Structure 1
Amino acid sequence: MNFNRNIYLQMKTLEKARKILFEQFSVSKILSGEKVSVPDAVGRVLHEPATAQLSSPNFHAAAMDGIAVKAETTFGISETKPQKLIIGKDAFYVNTGQPLP
């Protein structure tokens, strides 16, 4: 088997990339957006990014279960220069969605 591959892709201009994309999907232009109510938006695609006015939850939450540490307590720590962290002082067990300490 021949496993030689050219893994590097050639850069294309935005115009060239759009032309290729439009040709593949038989699209002649980018459609303009329209404002619709949330119930009418079901099954539709956003024309631009949507952002919330208020964050929910309104606190920094753990993205996954694990151990949270304060970054500055870990500065200088490495495999060759370890340091013990004290649970409840330097490190905290957290579950997904919990507020960060």
Structure 2
Amino acid sequence: MLELSSADVYKDLRLRGYDYSGAFRGVSQSDNKGFTGKLDWTGNWISYIDTMLQFSILGINTRELYLPTRMQRVCIDPAKHKALVETLSGDKKTVPVAMYR
């Protein structure tokens, strides 16, 4: 698998019709299949969850636009998330992520 940079990811998403900017460009890297990657954590849950949705699009082999209209269920343990983020080093916190299809 190939590793894609943030610029590569957002170029692909732009070609699919998405145009993200600022805090909503949180995918810092991904493999070319969209199975594993890293997401930026800036302390903002709204942009972070949106970034999770962006990451889920990467592994779909289509050029159709996806717009979530509802979520059946989202489970987040904020204490575990905080503990994970505190173990990360550096100014820019990147959280490892995996997509199970």
Shorter-normalised TM range: under 0.3
- TM-score for the superposition, normalised by structure 2: 0.21
Larger relative contact order (CA 8 Å, sep ≥ 6) = 2
Task: State which structure, 1 or 2, has the greater radius of gyration over its C-alpha atoms.
Answer: 1
Structure ranking higher in strand proportion: 2
- Higher helix proportion: 2
TM-score normalized by the length of structure 1: 0.21
